[in-house]
């Protein structure tokens, strides 16, 4: 990847979406850590802008489309971890987590084909929160509650109650 690749033009929501769409059309051997970092960096900038929480939610559906596209599950996990840790920690950015869940149909069950993606998101954020924080305060507590509630609903709807 060169620095002038369209994949790195992620500072606006439209540019970010174009990058995600381009990546979703790539083979799994073409997506790596540089692309993950670029997407997270761009989404952090978007989250800081007015209407950022809504934009983060809109981005969630596109991120779901990348599920299984990465060379290694580790890279996809880093993308999720970056979004959930860096983006949702922008002041007010935690509101976007609910938007991500809503965008991929977790809350209302309209898109349970993304159930495993949803559970992966929840798994990553819960693991990261517990590894990093001895005590959860403020927005991190809200994120934990939102993740746990969403995980239970998705698992129950999909007969995966043993995962919850």
Per domain, the residue ranges of the chain are 6-157
> What distance in Å separates the CA atoms of residue 52 and residue 86, rounded to the nearest whole number?
13
Please provide the DSSP assignment of 99-136 as one string: HHHHHTTTTTSTTGGGHHHHHHHHHHHHHHHHHH-SS-
> What distance in Å separates the CA atoms of residue 28 and residue 157, rounded to the nearest whole number?
30
What pLDDT sits at residue 10?
60
Question: What would the pLDDT profile of 82-132 be if each residue is shown by its tens digit?
Answer: 776 676 666 666 566 665 666 555 555 555 555 566 666 666 666 666 555
Residue 39 clears pLDDT 70, i.e. is over it: yes
Which residue reads 């439209």 in tokens? Answer: 14
**C-alpha triplet 32, 68, 139: angle, nearest 5°:** 80
Q: pTM above the 0.75 mark?
A: no
């Amino acid at each position: 990847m060169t620095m002038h690749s369209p994949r790195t033009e992620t500072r606006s929501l439209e540019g970010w979406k174009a990058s995600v769409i381009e990546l979703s059309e790539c083979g799994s051997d073409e997506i790596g850590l540089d692309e993950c970092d670029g997407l997270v960096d761009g989404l952090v900038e978007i989250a800081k802008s007015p209407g950022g929480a809504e934009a983060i939610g809109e981005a969630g559906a596109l991120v779901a489309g990348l599920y299984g596209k990465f060379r290694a599950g580790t890279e996809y996990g880093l993308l999720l971890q970056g979004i959930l840790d860096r983006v949702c920690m922008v002041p007010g950015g935690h509101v976007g987590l609910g938007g991500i869940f809503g965008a991929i149909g977790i809350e209302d069950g309209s898109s349970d084909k993304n159930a495993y993606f949803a559970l992966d998101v929840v798994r990553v954020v819960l693991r990261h929160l517990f590894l990093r924080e001895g005590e959860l305060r403020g927005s991190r507590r809200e994120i934990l509650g939102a993740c746990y509630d969403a995980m239970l609903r998705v698992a129950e709807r999909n007969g995966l109650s043993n995962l919850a």
